[in-house]
Chain A
Amino acid sequence: MDARNSWGSYPDAQGRFGQFGGRFVAETLMPNILALQQAYEDAKADPSFQETLDVFLRDYVGRPSPLYFAERLTDHFGGAKIYFKRDELNHTGAHKINNCMGQIFLAMRMGKTRIIAETGAGQHGVATATVCARFGLPCIVYMGATDVERQSPNVFRMKLLGAEVRPVDAGTATLKDAMNEALRDWVTNVKDTFYIIGTVAGPHPYPQLVRDFQSVIGRETKQQMLEREGRLPDALVACIGGGSNAIGLFHPFLEDESVKIYGVEAAGHGIETGLHAAALTGGRPGVLHGNRTYLLQNDDGQIMDAHSISAGLDYPGVGPEHAFLKDTGRATYLSATDDEALEAFQLCARLEGILPALEPSHALARVGEIAKDVGKGGIVVMNLCGRGDKDIFTIANALGAKI
């Protein structure tokens, strides 16, 4: 069978997307990973699981999120019509809660009584703390000490929601180190603990189940686009850290070959400087955090530090399905620097009255070129996956402003 006509069949039974993905974890976790896979398959086969989830996505998260025609940005660039999928309007301010809502129901179904999570920008931590508060489960969030510093509003939000935030000093004290520490916690507390991973990385079945829970973004977009424009868009654009918002938008469109797909990675100070977080653009395949994917690494296979102004993109790897979409050519991966993201942020604020998070500001930085490339009469959809309130201190700092 031609892989290109059966995107929905991935991952395979071993959790592989081609050579990527898999279950590269210590033996202690293996039985848990297999149990999670079984529980997820059972949940998918149970209509009441999706029904309950849908009710909460509607009444608690606020879905469907609007599809918004960004008219002034469209005029500004003078190319294709630009639409925003407004996942920043979700409860807690980002797409992360779509996945947390799905996983918390899975955790309760499995009878787990303790929730752990890792977070970079803090959006996934806040979303996890939120669902834990709602369902009365204790929540521990691991967060790199560097990120605790630069995302202090989100740290306080998590604490208000009753979560315990554990700063991680190891390594670079960012997202990858938080994930190591969460995995160590899980290895130590396998019996009662459910690990809510926030992105489409980690061992199988996480890349699959996070994708499935985030695919609500793409399914809604498709329906809304057909209602509004009577046709599919010409291109999709989303930022890529681990890549959960992007795969959520992309996945329902993979088999629609006419739809071009663009992911935008964080180029930090510039790919050529080596100080970036663009694993697909500047890395090579390897194994980290339970899966094989593109990684920033040196000649000895040591993982290198990622650099990005955006804490949510500051990760040296990427979800394995993106690695697969890159190698098969189904998606194109671009990058945007810190400065380009900051510029795009300001443009969006002034022209559309929307403060985007720094993460989707990277996608926004490439939207103009993509819109021009698609041309007038065409349609581009960008996932505006988070709001920028959390970033105002970082942005003020970068712009030399005092608040």
Chain B
Amino acid sequence: MPVGRLSSAFARAKAENRAALVAYVMAGDPSLEVCAAILHALPKAGVDVIELGFPFTDPMADGPSIQRAGIRALKNGTTLRKTMALAEQFRQNHPETPLIVMGYLNPVETMGYGAFARHAAEVGIDGAIIVDAPPEEDAELRAAMQASDLALIRLATPTTDAKRLPAVVAGVSGFVYYVSVAGITGDKAIETADIAEAVAAVREASGLPVAVGFGIKTPEAAARTAKIADGVVVGSALVDVIASAHETGGNVAEAATAFCQSLSQAIAQAR
């Protein structure tokens, strides 16, 4: 029950009166082995949902941190198939923590929509976010995902107006990812006051939990976001922690754990 795994994770967090912590890491960054160790450590560090990025040469919606992570991953020979193998390895030890993959459409098209969805379901992936597949272009992907009982998570943004919102949330399952700033990943600091209203609107239109991301870098920002959202997504900041631990020869999995714990504690005490 992949979609069920996502719903349960958000329901568990809600029952504990807190937001869920959603953490993004790039597959194969800094290496496939270390990435596997990071993934293995995340549930214990308080991460409720894992977003596993698969690299693309031309990540047009990502800022410098995730661009660089993608380049490192590609240099390590990371592919969509190897990303799925990492997910499979994770799933063997972690039956409950939902894991979704996130990336761009071309590697998915290359694999084929049906093959992508079937293979993802087989290895225990729960859903996918495909950044450059807006509702206008994702019908085929959506059908393939539904056939394999996988969640298709869409992005809603500050530019998604009331007229457009129903189309954006139609056919979505799992949760909705609200991009809190119009921009690339990791770019600007988050302004929580501006987004509370938008999050409520997305929640009402979709009937699903709303996770907020883009620009959350500190436990303080995570706590502010946790007051108004069902989930808090941390991406670039975690990717930076991983990169810096790797560069300085530190224990990367421990550094990622410590950072996620600080976020998770801040979120737990936010409400």
Assess whether A300 is in contact with B80, with CB atoms less than 8 Å apart.
yes
Find B60's partner among A14, A184, A301 (CB 8 Å cutoff): A184
Assess whether A183 is in contact with B60, with CB atoms less than 8 Å apart.
yes
Of B151-159, B191-199, B217-225, B254-262, the one touching chain A: B151-159
Residues of B with C-beta under 8 A to A30: 134, 136, 159-160, 164
Q: Given contacts A183-B60, A190-B182, A302-B74, are A27 and B106 in contact (CB under 8 A)? A: no
Assess whether B137 is in contact with A32, with CB atoms less than 8 Å apart.
no
Assess whether B107 is in contact with A188, with CB atoms less than 8 Å apart.
no
Size category of the B interface is 35 or more
A46 contacts B by Cβ under 8 Å: no
Residues of B with C-beta under 8 A to A295: 106
Assess whether A187 is in contact with B61, with CB atoms less than 8 Å apart.
yes
**Number of cross-chain contacts by CB at 8 Å:** 118
Which residues B111-133 have CB closer than 8 A to chain A? 111, 131-133
Q: Given contacts A27-B155, A188-B184, are A302 and B56 in contact (CB under 8 A)? A: yes
Assess whether B79 is in contact with A26, with CB atoms less than 8 Å apart.
no
Q: Given contacts A25-B132, A27-B160, are A287 and B60 in contact (CB under 8 A)? A: no
Chain B residue, CB-CB nearest to A304: B57
Find B164's partner among A31, A184, A303 (CB 8 Å cutoff): A31
Assess whether B132 is in contact with A300, with CB atoms less than 8 Å apart.
no
Assess whether B134 is in contact with A26, with CB atoms less than 8 Å apart.
yes
Q: Given contacts A31-B159, A184-B60, are A301 and B134 in contact (CB under 8 A)? A: no
Identify whether the interface residues of A are mostly helix, strand, loop, or mixed: mixed
Q: In the complex, which of the residues A28, A188, A190, A302 has the most CB atoms of chain B within 10 Å of its own CB atom?
A: A28
A398 to chain B, nearest CB (A): 28
Residues of A with C-beta under 8 A to B133: 24
B92 contacts A by Cβ under 8 Å: no
Find B160's partner among A31, A184, A288, A297 (CB 8 Å cutoff): A31
Find B132's partner among A188, A191, A290, A297 (CB 8 Å cutoff): A290
Assess whether A287 is in contact with B132, with CB atoms less than 8 Å apart.
yes
Assess whether B61 is in contact with A28, with CB atoms less than 8 Å apart.
yes
Per-position contact with A for B46-76: 1 when CB-CB < 8 Å, else 0? Answer: 0000000001111111110001000000100
Per-position contact with A for B95-116: 1 when CB-CB < 8 Å, else 0? Answer: 0000000001111111100000
Residues of B with C-beta under 8 A to A302: 55-57, 74, 79, 106-107
Size category of the A interface is 35 or more
Assess whether B184 is in contact with A184, with CB atoms less than 8 Å apart.
yes
Q: Given contacts A187-B182, A187-B184, A287-B132, are A27 and B157 in contact (CB under 8 A)? A: yes
Chain B residue, CB-CB nearest to A15: B136
Assess whether B67 is in contact with A170, with CB atoms less than 8 Å apart.
yes
Find B59's partner among A22, A180, A286, A297 (CB 8 Å cutoff): A180
Assess whether B132 is in contact with A301, with CB atoms less than 8 Å apart.
no
Assess whether B134 is in contact with A25, with CB atoms less than 8 Å apart.
yes
Assess whether B74 is in contact with A28, with CB atoms less than 8 Å apart.
no
Tell me, in angstroms, the Cα distance from A289 to B134 when the chains sit together.
13
A96 contacts B by Cβ under 8 Å: no
B171 contacts A by Cβ under 8 Å: no
B187 contacts A by Cβ under 8 Å: yes
Residues of B with C-beta under 8 A to A179: 60
B129 to chain A, nearest CB (A): 11
7 example contacts (A-B, Cβ-Cβ < 8 A) are as follows A24-B132, A26-B134, A187-B182, A188-B183, A287-B132, A290-B132, A302-B55
* Shortest Cβ-Cβ A-B pairs, 8 listed: A301-B110, A301-B107, A188-B183, A300-B79, A301-B106, A26-B61, A28-B157, A303-B57
